[in-house]
Structure 1
Amino acid sequence: MTTWYHSWRAAIRIARRDAWRSKGRSFLVLAMIALPILGVSAADLTVRSAELSTEQSLERTLGAADAQLSDPHMGGTPLLQSPDGTNYAPATDLKEDEPWPDGATDLGKALPSGTKSLTDSTGSAKLRTAHGLLNTEIRELRSTDPMAAGIMTLISGRFPKGADEVAATTHFLESSGLTVGSTVAARGLDREYTVVGSYELPDALTSDQVNAVPGALLDPLDKALAADDLPGTGKSTSYLVSVSGGFTWNMVQQANAKGVKVVSRAVQLDPPADADVPLYQSENWGGGYEESTGAKAAALAAVGTVVGLAMLEICLLAGPAFAVGARRSRRQLGLVGANGGDRRHIRAIVLAGGLVIGFVAAVVGTVLGLVLTFALRPLLEEYIGARFGSFDIRPLELLGIGLLAVITGLLAAIVPAVTASRQTVLASLTGRRGVRRSSRVLPVIGLIAVALGAAIALYGSLYSDQFIIVAGGSAIAELGVVALTPALVGLFGRTGRWLPLSPRLALRDAVRNRGRTAPAVAAVLAAVAGTVAVATYTASSDAQGAAEYEAQLPRGGVSLVVDAPGGRDVAQARAAVQRYLPVDLRADVDRITVGKKQCTMAYSGSEDCGRYEVVVPKQNECPLWVALPGGKDPAEKFSVAQRRALAKDWRCRQGNGGIYADFGVLVGDAKLLKALAIDDPAAVRALADGRTVSFDKRNVDRNGTIGIRLVTDTKAADKATEQGKPAPGTVKTFPAHQAPESVASYGVSMIVPPAAAKSADLTTVPYGAYFMTDQAPTTEQRQKLDAELNSSGADAMLHIEEGYTSENNIVLLALTVFAGLITVGAAGIATGLAQADAEADLKTLAAVGAPPRVRRTLSGFQCGVVAAMGVVLGSAAGVLPAVGLRLTQERQQLKWYEKALDEGWGGALSPPHIPVVVPWETLAALLVAVPVGAALLAALVTRSRGALARRDPA
């Protein structure tokens, strides 16, 4: 025991001294191991600090109250709930066709006697700001009450006390351009409110919210909006209650019996057993996958895979660096052997180097993680949008993360330790390398792993829907390629005969010293393979998105829709678009209104607002869409084969997409055809002649006419529809021109000319306009237009068609940069090792008359050779998992499409298109730019003249 202790103590002292003497190499390895530890420890601190304890979470929800009573909108039906109140269901089991209970609940009936309560109401409205209008949440809570302490954090000023005062979140003040002391008003309300303070919601830092005293803002605003036939604020109210002894589980169940949902502080701090929770024994309850053992196992497997790959990458990168140290210390190790040390002592010295650097990396990475997380805490809180509960340090978790660094350092030093211990004392003292033979077993294992992994990935791609099978097979195949790396390096060496002197020497040196070349190549291979796999999958998904993208308008088109009663604000909005955007063409459109009032589309179909329907002739109706009495599914009448056949029927095909255009019926002229980029002279003549232009041939009957039914009694129409009968109403008939099927109408099913609408006594109101621009609008132009529309108060929906925009370009760039950094790092380590090994060769070159630049050129080519081999092998290995995952995704989507065909919904879908696209630009950057860049960098940092050295004594 004493011998073991003293030998390891001496080994650690030698390793510490050697690490201090070789500061550059030690710093490089330390940085490799410490950077991941820094990231993981910072992530652990951030996650743990962001996690709230039960007490902290309740403080932000309940303040100082004992419970919160809220309305689940189940009409007072008794319910069952979970102890935390997040899940609930009716107390009685619902039948298969029975609808979910609906309606408001009287919360006051559930208040226990002797309780103190505080109302908390929320709604939303558009508030006038310095820039225009901003959709804002309005909260009426007496925030000065001690019961509300903790829900809001006051930043400046004070909370409101009077009915003409409000406080606002800091994010709202930043977005609106207002400050404490400014006045704010709601659209539709003449009253102004003074901003007396700013606050923040600890759980929602980016929330746009204003706080007022109860009854000061929401009720007056709802009345004003109702007078203008506008939607209300959507007010909802809950109660914060305080009761002596706390709100117990029995009290929660009593409130549930009255249809009220409760969040109780006492229950969450001391929850009941699952057996005492009726919801968990109800048929309406089903546990989520997120809480299952399978989900936890899947999460642990994912974390373990990422950690394992990270450790492998570090070991592959750091291993050659430890080999550099072993090479440079071979004389010292030889002296250890000459003085009685055996192989285990030499292994201990090299392993102690990994232990020392791993320990220092653990300490440095953990300390830096603590410091950076603490320093960046405000930025992290802003990024996640919530304040930390506390700066939560878990010593055991940080110790485990640090232990991972020590283990990684030891693993990285294993291979160099074994290699150094196998050298004879004579070879170590004289510097002779001896004859080295590469392993013949490792390539065989690699071939078997490649074949097995490829077979598994192929099986997962063609016969299974599980992505994990493809990923697992690809990982096995990639490990097989790593095992084959030494043999593949030898194959690369055969190309040296066609190369000039310097690259030939570099390639020959890499082949002769595969022990240091193979790990560096494998590290580059792993990094590039992952990059190529993700890049290929991302590029393929991007191509799929471009193919599936449905343009809402022609490229450069602009649509404006103003959903207001009587077409209010439409003229002002049209003029604003034409004033701020580079408009080349403007086509005004109107909409049809039915009923006593000229209502908005949101109110269409109410008692005072009728609706209209396009009459589809019987022979043009899709049998799968015909309503049946009793609400039965019409597809049930047909067999699977008939449903598949009907999916190809032109009557059952879904129309092309587009913007929301008032059921696809617009009142307009020939300018609208130009705005939609429709080149159909016959359609232009039809509109000039007063005929309707149809883009959906299902609407045109055999006589070439279109019918529009005006429905005034919406209740009778709904009842008739439920019985499978036509809705009662007056039908207006229009002669029609059917446009070719190839024409893209962007959601417009028909255009009714104004003259035809007037002759049919249809009531129309302005609805919006379509525009064509001669150039793409700039950001400044769009901001000015948005401000103008907001300040006008128009409820406008604006769309500017910019075509498909890829969001993955930055991802591909980041992946390329990441792979480049890993490649340069690995190649640099291999180059440093090559320089240490080839010092004698370089001196020989200098002795025979080679110019000084040969040293720099040879160093650059040594780095470039390693980078090129790793990039080529990694590019080939990375395509396999991406192709496998895409094929698996294709089979999965094809299966869903087949199911949709069987159920009668195939006409609304298109067959899946899952292309496989290789990102040639990314591959070109990896194959050319990265090796060339690595070689140039190595050449630049290498001295052209070596240091003079005297001959070693015999």
Structure 2
Amino acid sequence: MNNWFHSWRAAVRIARRDAWRFKGRSFLVLAMIALPIIGVSAADLTLRTSELSTEETLARTLGAADARIIDPDYGGVPILQHPVQEDSTPAGNYDNKPWPEGRTDVTKAFPAGSTVLTDSAGAGKIRTAHGILQTEIRELKAADPMARGILTLQDGRFPEKADEVAATTHFLEASGLGLGSTVAARGLDREYRVVGSYELPNELKADQLNALPGAFLDPLGKALDAAGMPGTGKSTTHLLALPRSTDADGFTWNMVKEANAKGVMVISRAVALDPPADSDVPLLQREGWGDYGDSAAAKAAALAAAGTIVGLAMLEICLLAGPAFAVGARRSRRQLGLVGANGGDRRHIRAIVLAGGLVIGIAAAVVGTVLGLLLTFLLQPVLEDYMGQRFGAFDVRPLELLGIGLIAVLTGLLAAVVPAVTASRQTVLASLTGRRGVRRSSRVLPVVGLIAALLGAAIALYGSVVSDQFIIVAGGSALAELGVVALTPALVGLFGRTGRWLPLSPRLALRDAVRNRGRTAPAVAAVLAAVAGTVAVATYQASDDAQQRAAYEARLPHGAVSVVLGEGGGRDVLAVRDTVQKNLPVEVRADVDRIVVGKATCEMYADAEGCGRHEVVIPKANQCPLWVYMPDGSDASDKYTKAERRKLAQDWRCKETPSMAYTESGLVVADAKLLKVLEIEDPAAEKALAEGKVVSFSRTMVDAKGKLGIKLITDPAKAEEAMAKGKEAPGQVKSFDVHQAAPGTESYGLAGIVPPAAAKAAGITTVPFGAYFSTERMPSTEQRQKLDDELSKTGASVDLHVEEGFVSENSIVLLSLTVFAGLITIGAAGIATGLAQADAEADLKTLAAVGAPPRVRRTLSGFQCGVVAVMGVLLGSAAGVLPAIGLRLTERRQQMSWYEQALDLGGLMERPQVPIIVPWGTLAALLVAVPVGAALLAALVTRSRGALARRAAA
């Protein structure tokens, strides 16, 4: 034991001295190992810091209160609730009864002597320096000690008077206001002075105003009600603090269940800190409510994914760092020979080389962990702003950081294993004389690699053609890639046979790469692994991008603009239309109206008193048999067999269901200008609109006589009741003459166009709804920003859409992957080139001695780097396409299976299109630009003249 300790102590001292002596090589290896450690440790610290503890979460939701009392709006019936989450359901069985709803008197759940603080929230359109901003309004006495922690004061103070408000910092930035400014809500003449700024720790980007209870929402609600406008949607909860004499245990779970019996939901601090067992929670005993959290399979999959990432990262580092240790061992072979000459055996040689990995690994662990700590600390404010929430206390978990550091140490040791074994096998004479000897390449490794590659390809093919499990494809692809990695030394030898057709410098570079496969093959394998992963993801992303492009449904022709407004009875539509035309390069403007039933101020889909709705009457002959109403309320598709449902799914009546876009019926009231904006070239349709006929884009709406019926339903409640019984909804039907558009006409979601004259003649009430615009050119970003600012000043909730066509989000992903693969490739090739220069210094001096010009050194260095990059990129591109194709084939089978099941059930689905697209642009960049860039970079940073060396002593 004592001898073992002393021998390793000496080995570590020698390794430390060599690492300090050869700083360049040591820094290179240290950087390779430390970079992943920096990333992993920073990710661990960020994740742990961003995870709020239960106490921190409660401080942001309850402040200093013992509980928050919530009305679940079940009309006071007994409820069951989750102990921690805001989930609840009525305790009774209401399958065949009306679902309970209505307000609950929450005060009956307040324990005697409790202190209560109301917390109300609503919304309003606040006038700002730029116009109107939709803002949340919160009425909470934030200065009260019970509310401490819910709002974080940044500047000034919280409101103390009824005419004062505080605002979030994001609201002040967006509105252009500051402390001392005045704000008012649209529809309310009263003004409030901003006396403070604060932030919501969980919502840094929230636009919110804070006022005293009853100071803002109540006056605003009364003003809006008087103007006939929608209210603020005020909701109220209560913060509750128990009296000191009874708060020893806080608001217990038994007290929560007592409140539940009164129809009140409670979020309790004591319960959240010490949750009851699942068996004591009645809600979790109900079917379907106990399946919270990730399943064991999901957790296992996540752990497997994390383990795979860590394993691949370690493999990548070992592939790159291993040759560095091998070159270091060869550069120190005289020293290692002296150890052997003085009685050291192979154990001591291996210990010295392994100690080099240990020293570098420990240094990388320390440097990576320290830099990870600093990086996390410095980037925390940036990450908080990006994620929109404050993190918790800086959470450093030493055991986790120690484990991450041990990965660095283990990686350093693994990278030094092969060089250590190789160095220990050299004889003392060969080490002292500097002769490398001749070693035959392994014949077993290529055979194993070929078997693994073929077996992995077969498994991936099986997974993509027979099985629906993605894991089989991924596993087979990974095995095939490892097989190609094992084949790399043999493939490098095959590449060497092409050298006879190359000029001098690339021939020398290729010959050197083949002769020194010990450092070439790992670098090629590292490039291969990086490129294979990039090509696999890029191929999958490009295929998915093509699928999304094919599935994309444009709302308008390219460059066209639509603006619709369904609130306020069309009060603001005229101003909105003019605003859009003034700020955009409009070519044709088509005004559209909508049909209303009842008062002209009725909003779309609003269930207000005196407001109805309308619908298109679908003739019985045109109704899809799968979706008709049955008298007993059952599903009509149940009476058909699978074969019949499949056949009916292809029936034109089921395939051509009218669109319900924009309005409740899909109909709009407009003239022929709308056809021009929609780029519908149909002279007969223009003529029909001029003659007062409705233009229909769906055959199902038109009866055998060429008529279209619009039913005006004045009582929606009676209509719903009748439809529930399988009867038709009662209402007055207006009939119109129709022009049927040509089949396949792209109407961009519209079911039909009703001319204004025909609607007026039928006695149908219409109100302005919006407009469609064709533009001379695509609106610029500056024009869009100015338009948004102008529209915000109108105070209307405008639905503005500019059709830009399909915008691929994957282009950025593909670009990022290409850049990432390029950096890895250039880095790996550069490392191999640096090692080659260090290892082949004698050869370069021989070239200089025989009269080779200085530029040969630079040219040779560039070609050495390029050779490694070309071999790695070629092999990686071939290996990366396999998993992507396999995954796409598996996905195609899965989607086709869902499609077949939907047809069996009578579903109306489009046949899935799952294309396989090879990203030739990405491959071209990898195959051409990256190797050329790596070669040029290596040539530029290489000195053309080398230092002269003294003749070695005989």
Calculate the TM-score normalised by the size of structure 2: 0.97
Match of 1:586 in 2: 589
| Cross-structure match for 1:257 | 261
TM-aligned CA deviation for residue 98 of structure 1: 6.1
1:502 maps to which of 505, 515, 520: 505
CA contact (8 A) 2:79 2:263 kept: yes
Q: Equivalent residue of 2:948, what SS?
A: coil
Q: Distance in 1 between matches of 2:295 and 2:238?
A: 34
Q: Contact 1:694 / 1:738 at 8 angstroms: preserved in 2?
A: yes
Match for residue 437 of structure 1 among 440, 449, 465: 440
In the TM superposition, 1:187-586 aligns within 5 A as 187-243=186-242, 244-245=246-247, 246-283=250-287, 285-288=289-292, 290-586=293-589
Q: Is the counterpart of residue 690 in structure 1 residue 689 in structure 2?
A: no
1:939 maps to 939
Tell me how far 1:55 sits from its aligned partner.
1.5
Q: Secondary structure at the match of 1:624?
A: helix
In percent, how many aligned pairs have the same letter? 73
Measured in 2, the distance between the counterparts of 1:102 and 1:897 equals 38
Q: What do residues 574-609 of structure 1 show as CA deviations (whole Å, max 9, x unaligned)?
A: 110110000011011111222144411132x54301
Once the two structures are TM-superposed, the CA of residue 439 in structure 1 deviates from its matched residue by 0.7
CA distance in 1, matches of 2:477, 2:659: 39
* 1:595 counterpart SS class: coil
1:505-532 alpha-carbon deviations (Å, 9 max, x no partner): 1111111111111100000000001111
Hey, what's the Cα distance between the residues in 2 that align with 1:754 and 1:297? 63
Shift of 1:545: 0.8
Which residue of the partner structure matches residue 840 of structure 1?
842
Q: Who is 2:610 aligned against?
A: 608
Alignment map for 1:749-764 (pairs within 5 Å): 749-764=751-766
Separation (CA, whole Å) in 2 of partners of 1:227 and 1:624: 47
Contact 1:327 1:836 in 2 (8 A): no
Q: Distance in 2 between matches of 1:403 and 1:656?
A: 64
Higher deviation after alignment, 584-593 or 83-92: 83-92
Counterpart Cα distance in 2 of 1:725 and 1:93? 27
Question: Aligned partners of 1:325 and 1:63: how far apart in 2?
Answer: 61
Partner of 2:22: 22
Supply the distance in 2 between the matched residues of 1:850 and 1:284 (Cα, whole angstroms).
80
Partners of 1:160 and 1:196 within 8 A in 2: yes
Within 5 A, what are the aligned runs for 1:645-656?
645-654=647-656
CA contact (8 A) 2:33 2:317 kept: yes
Kept after mapping to 2: 8 A contact 1:229/1:599: no
1:666 pairs with one of 665, 668, 671: 668
CA shift in 2, pair 1:26/1:113, >3 Å: same
- 1:164-199, Cα deviation, whole Å (9 max, x unpaired): 111111111111111111111122222221111101
**3-state SS of 2:312 partner:** helix
Contact 2:658–2:751, Cα closer than 8 Å, also in 1 = no
Structure 2 SS opposite 1:629: coil
Cα 1:656–1:662 shift into 2, 3 Å: closer
- The offset of 1:635, in angstroms, is 1.4
Amino acid corresponding to residue 738 of structure 1 in structure 2 = Q
Letter in 2 for 1:547: A
Q: Is 1:707 aligned to residue 706 of structure 2?
A: no
1:731-774 Cα deviation digits (max 9, x unpaired): 22111110111210011111111222222222222111110001
The answer (yes or no) to whether the contact 1:66–1:266 under 8 Å persists in 2 is yes
Deviations 1:3-35 (A, max 9, x none): 111111111111111111111111111111111
Give yes or no for contact 2:604–2:663 (8 Å, CA) kept in 1.
Answer: no
Shift of residue 368, structure 1, vs aligned partner = 1.1
CA deviation vs aligned residue, 1:119-140 (integer Å, no higher than 9, x gap): 1111222222112222221111
CA deviation after TM superposition for structure 1 residue 228, in Å: 3.6
| CA distance 1:367–1:836, change in 2 (3 Å) | same
* 2:837/2:861 contact within 8 Å kept: yes
Shift of 1:654: 4.8
In structure 2, the partner of 1:69 is 69
Structure 2 distance, partners of 1:98, 1:464, is 45
Aligned residue identity for 2:397: R
Q: Is the Cα–Cα contact under 8 Å of residues 658 and 698 in structure 2 kept in the other structure?
A: no
Distance in structure 2 (CA, Å) of the matches to 1:657 and 1:36:
53
Runs of 4+, deviation exceeding 6 Å: none
Query: Do the aligned residues in 2 keep the contact of 1:860 with 1:939 (CA within 8 Å)?
Result: yes
Counterparts in 2 of 1:879 and 1:656: CA distance versus 1, 3 Å: farther
User: The residue matched to 1:393 in structure 2 has which SS?
Assistant: coil
Report the Cα distance in structure 2 between the residues aligned to 1:702 and 1:577, rounded to whole angstroms: 42
1:824 aligns to 2:826 (yes or no): yes
The CA deviation at 1:82 is 2.9
Q: Which TM-score applies when normalising by structure 1?
A: 0.97
Mean Cα deviation higher: 454-463 or 80-89: 80-89
| C-alpha contact 1:643 1:901 (8 A) present in aligned 2 | yes
Paired with 1:802 and 1:764, the residues of 2 have a C-alpha distance of 30
Q: Distance in 2 between matches of 1:800 and 1:658?
A: 20
Compared CA separation, residues 392 and 586, structure 1 to 2 (3 A): same
How far is the alpha carbon of 1:866 from its aligned partner? 0.6
CA contact 1:590–1:767 (8 Å) conserved in 2: yes
Alpha-carbon separation, structure 1, partners of 2:172 and 2:55: 30
Q: Is 1:628 aligned to residue 627 of structure 2?
A: no
Q: What corresponds to 1:41 in structure 2?
A: 41
Are the aligned partners of 2:658 and 2:666 in contact in 1 as well (CA < 8 Å)? Answer: no
Distance 1:545 1:652 in 2: 24
| 8 Å CA contact retained: 1:656, 1:744 | no
Distance change in 2, residues 1:321/1:93 (3 Å): farther
**Whole-Å Cα distance in 1 between the matches of residues 725 and 748 of structure 2?**
33
Residue 658 of structure 1 and its aligned partner are, at CA, apart by 8.7
Contact 1:593 / 1:764 at 8 angstroms: preserved in 2?
Answer: yes
Looking at structure 1, the residues matched to 45 and 583 of structure 2 have their Cα atoms a distance apart, in angstroms, of: 49
> Deviation per CA, 1:624-682, whole angstroms, max 9, x where unpaired?
12122343212112111111111111111155879524522111111110010000111
Q: Distance in 1 between matches of 2:203 and 2:33?
A: 36
Q: Distance in 2 between matches of 1:602 and 1:53?
A: 42
Mark the runs of 5 or more structure 2 residues left unpaired by the alignment. none
Closer, same or farther: CA 104–902 of 1 in aligned 2, 3 Å: farther
Which residues of 2 match residues 868-887 of structure 1 at below 5 A?
868-887=870-889
SS at match of 2:27: helix
SS at match of 2:240: strand
Shift of 1:148: 0.7
**Helix, strand or coil at the partner of 1:835:** helix
1:100 Cα offset (Å): 5.4
Residue 865 of structure 1: how far off its partner (Å): 0.4
Check conservation: 1:560, 1:770, Cα contact below 8 A. Answer: yes
Amino acid at match of 2:721: K
Query: Retained in 2: the 8 A contact 1:320–1:829?
Result: no
1:597/1:753 Cα in 2 relative to 1: closer, same or farther (>3 Å)?
A: closer
CA contact (8 A) 1:564 1:795 kept: yes
Higher mean Cα deviation, 427-436 or 229-238?
229-238
Change (3 A) 1:815 1:164: same
Which SS does the other structure have where 1:126 is aligned?
Answer: strand
Aligned residues: 949
Q: Which moved more, 1:477-486 or 1:222-231?
A: 222-231
Whole-Å separation in 2 of the counterparts to 1:588 and 1:565: 17
Compared CA separation, residues 57 and 795, structure 1 to 2 (3 A): closer
SS across alignment from 2:665: helix
Hey, what's the Cα distance between the residues in 1 that align with 2:928 and 2:658?
A: 44
